[in-house]
Amino acid sequence: IIHTLEAHVPNLSDCPPAKLCGPRTPPEGKRIGDCLTKDMGRILVRGEPGNGLMPTVTAKPGEKVIFKPGKGAFYDTDLHEWLKAEGITHLVFTGVTTEVCVQTTMREANDRGFECALLEDCTASYFPEFKQAAIEMIRAQGGIIGWTAMSNDFISALP
């Protein structure tokens, strides 16, 4: 099991400039590195109270945690090297958001030669229609990016 979360080092030196000051930059007070509330800490900054894994999916011993500075888990991380060293060839995807971080990572994995499957009922989006569009893109052309399945079907197919 590999957990990923978008998290930047405190000085934001790993944050791509377009995310800090690009044309889609949120208003002041809601930008990466800004402090939303004292309880939540700085937005998308590693180690801040609001930047961590949800208690229900906290990493267990032996599970890898990837702190990623981009949307995809392969960008500027050791994920590819780690997967190769572990001899892993097949990946199963869950998480949020289906159409951004999950799909980006799945596409990156596919480009690197990994076999990919997305568990449809184990991903989410702010916009149901975006999630559905992402699922359809993944399945397009006979699974150009990978395959999709419901978790019960996937679990039932395991040896």
- pLDDT-derived band at 7, boundaries 50, 70, 90: very high
Across 22-31, 70-79, 119-128, 149-158, least confident range: 22-31
* Model pLDDT, residue 24: 80
| pLDDT tens digits for range 17-52 | 888 887 888 888 899 999 989 999 999 999 999 999
* Model pLDDT, residue 20: 86
Q: Provide CB contacts within 8 A for 81, sequence distance 6+.
A: none
Q: Higher pLDDT residue, 13 or 25? A: 13
How many C-beta atoms surround the C-beta of residue 24 within 10 A? 6
Does residue 58 register a pLDDT over 90?
A: yes
Displacement of CA 62 from its chain's centroid (Å): 19
Mean pLDDT of 51-70: 94
Write down the pTM of the prediction: 0.92
* Model pLDDT, residue 25: 83
Burial class of residue 109, CB neighbours in 10 A (0-12, 13-18, 19+) = buried
* Model pLDDT, residue 4: 96
* Model pLDDT, residue 17: 87
